[in-house]
């Protein structure tokens, strides 16, 4: 076993673990054993897991180890552990959505993304904390406690893919799946200092994932490095005729451009998002300017661009999300309103008052917002903008969380469906991560990851680890 693997296997990237397996310096069983020990020590402080499926994970790790030893490796994720947000079905396990409503809801089949992970040989570790039905916030009135931020467990880890972000950042597993309807992959990536991608709408199947908003939902990867994010996307992407939103595309090899740098790329900096629309915390604004300087130094042409305001995007997202979510939750909200947590109930109920005219009007304006983004992406390869406008707030300050949670620039790209990645752009003075977002053309997720990889290599922020242990 190599020294890094021996000293801290929990910090190995998925790519590093795969190479160690192939070189026989580390085995899938050894890696999983180390991760299970770390989970036993740290997860009582973080609450990343709703259900750790240790026995099934060990069985899968042993099978992967035997197949790799026999020369039947299935690719770079064979034997690599992955955590799963608990709105994604894993056969035989409860899909609770972190809610009393579904606490006994046992999945009868794997979601398509889980099928794909199993085909790639990945080890499914269990189900991870989320905000209730992927719309509530961090709260204490649910069947399971909220996940916590490994950079400071007194703070939230973002959401709604909260356990996914917390667990990846803490070294409990190298990869996780989350979902993103208004930013719920990119928010925990921003809060926890990791890499979270909302892929192009339709690139990844959502069949077997509990829906929040049919036309806004995405499934996306979270990882500690851009390269790992690309590997996980490779495994889960692909057309699914059983998902009405799935795109018939054969796009693959999302990491093919990671070593090309940004020289010659045109990058549009959407400054008004954080300067005028929702003024960012000064440390976030300074970090974004530094991102632009880094990319310019690496050879990119960075220029200021203008899009519709965040208020417009947020309003359209809200009408569509609330209308579509109400169509899902109306029976339970009428029959069992007290079984919802307060935050989820408060955020779902406005859908009862949306009219057909509201919804159709929002969809018409949505088309205009898409056209505005498309206009800029004809001239620019990638857009640069804020993700979160503030570092994560404390869990015991619900008023501050309510104030800062909507202060973000992620929802525009759920409205438009463009690929968007959020990643660490530094540490605030309080020791919590700040972040940046890159956005690209439809089905050009590879170029978005290319820019992210160039920034990652130039800065090395991904090498910083939370002080939790």
Instruction: Single out the residue of 425, 421, 419 nearest to residue 391, CA to CA.
Output: 425
Q: Which residues are catalytic?
A: 85, 160, 184
Distance CA 109, CA 266 (A): 44
The structure's pTM equals 0.97
The answer to whether the beta carbons of residues 142 and 51 sit under 8 Å apart is no
Query: For residue 252, how far is the Cα from the chain centroid?
Result: 19
Instruction: Single out the residue of 156, 153, 195 nearest to residue 461, CA to CA.
Output: 195
Provide the pLDDT for residue 411: 98
Q: Would you say how long the chain is, in residues? A: 469
Strand order in the sheet with 266-269: 49-52, 123-128, 81-85, 175-180, 218-223, 195-198, 420-427, 433-440, 382-385, 266-269, 301-304
From first to last of the 469 residues of the chain, give the pLDDT tens digit: 334 445 899 999 999 999 999 999 999 999 999 999 999 999 999 999 999 999 999 999 999 999 999 999 999 999 999 999 999 999 999 999 999 999 999 999 999 999 999 999 999 999 999 999 999 899 999 999 999 999 999 999 999 999 999 999 999 999 999 999 999 999 999 999 999 999 999 999 999 999 999 999 999 999 999 999 999 999 999 999 999 999 998 778 999 999 999 999 999 999 999 999 999 999 999 999 999 999 999 999 999 999 999 999 999 999 999 999 999 999 999 999 999 999 999 999 999 999 999 999 999 999 999 999 999 999 999 999 999 999 999 999 999 999 999 999 999 999 999 999 999 999 999 999 999 999 999 999 999 999 999 999 999 999 999 998 7
Provide the pLDDT for residue 342: 96
Distance CA 415, CA 428 (A): 30
Provide the pLDDT for residue 469: 77
Four-point Cα dihedral 360, 365, 366, 369, nearest 10: 180
* Domain-wise residue ranges, the chain: 12-457
Provide the pLDDT for residue 6: 56
CATH architecture, range 12-457 = Alpha-Beta Complex (3.90)
DSSP helix/strand/coil, 464: coil
Provide the pLDDT for residue 2: 39
Distance CA 373, CA 309 (A): 11
């Amino acid at each position: 076993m190599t020294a890094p693997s021996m000293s801290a296997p929990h910090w190995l990237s998925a790519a590093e673990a795969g190479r160690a397996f192939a070189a026989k310096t580390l085995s899938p069983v050894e890696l999983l054993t180390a991760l299970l020990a770390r989970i036993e020590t740290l997860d009582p402080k973080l609450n990343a897991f709703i259900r750790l499926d240790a026995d099934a994970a060990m069985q899968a790790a042993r099978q992967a180890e035997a197949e790799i030893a026999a020369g039947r490796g299935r690719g770079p994720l064979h034997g690599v552990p992955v955590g799963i947000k608990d709105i994604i079905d894993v056969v035989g396990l409860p899909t609770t959505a972190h809610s009393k409503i579904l606490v006994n809801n046992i999945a009868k089949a794997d979601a398509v993304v889980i099928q794909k992970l199993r085909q790639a040989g990945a080890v499914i570790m269990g189900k991870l904390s989320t905000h209730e039905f992927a719309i509530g916030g961090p709260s204490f009135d649910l069947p399971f406690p909220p996940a916590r931020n490994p950079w400071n467990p007194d703070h939230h880890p973002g959401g709604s893919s909260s356990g996914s972000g917390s667990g990846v950042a803490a070294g409990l597993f190298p990869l996780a799946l989350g979902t993103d309807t208004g930013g719920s992959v990119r928010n925990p990536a921003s809060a926890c200092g990791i890499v979270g991608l909302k892929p192009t709408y339709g690139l990844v199947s959502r069949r077997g994932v509990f829906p929040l908003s049919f036309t806004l939902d995405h499934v996306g990867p979270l990882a500690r490095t851009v390269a790992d994010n690309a590997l996980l996307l490779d495994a889960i992407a692909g057309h699914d005729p059983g998902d009405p939103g799935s795109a018939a595309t054969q796009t693959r090899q999302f990491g093919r451009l990671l070593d090309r740098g940004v020289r010659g790329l045109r990058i549009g900096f959407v400054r008004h998002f954080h300067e005028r629309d929702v003024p960012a915390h000064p440390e976030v604004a300074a970090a974004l300017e530094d991102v632009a300087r880094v990319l310019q130094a690496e050879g990119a042409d960075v220029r200021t661009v203008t899009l519709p305001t965040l208020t417009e995007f947020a309003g359209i997202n809200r009408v569509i999300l609330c209308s579509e979510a109400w169509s899902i939750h109306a029976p339970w909200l009428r029959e069992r309103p007290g079984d919802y947590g307060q935050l989820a109930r408060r955020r779902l109920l406005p859908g009862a008052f949306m009219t057909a005219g509201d919804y159709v009007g929002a969809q018409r304006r949505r088309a205009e917002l898409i056209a505005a983004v498309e206009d800029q992406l004809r001239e620019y390869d990638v857009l640069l903008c804020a993700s979160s406008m503030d570092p994560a707030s404390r869990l015991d300050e619900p008023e501050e969380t309510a104030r800062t949670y909507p202060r973000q620039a992620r929802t525009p790209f759920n409205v438009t469906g463009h690929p968007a990645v959020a990643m660490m752009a530094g540490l605030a003075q309080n020791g919590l991560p700040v972040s940046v977002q890159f956005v690209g053309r439809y089905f050009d997720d590879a170029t978005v990851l290319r820019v992210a990889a160039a920034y990652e290599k130039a800065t090395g922020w991904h090498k910083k680890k939370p002080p939790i242990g």
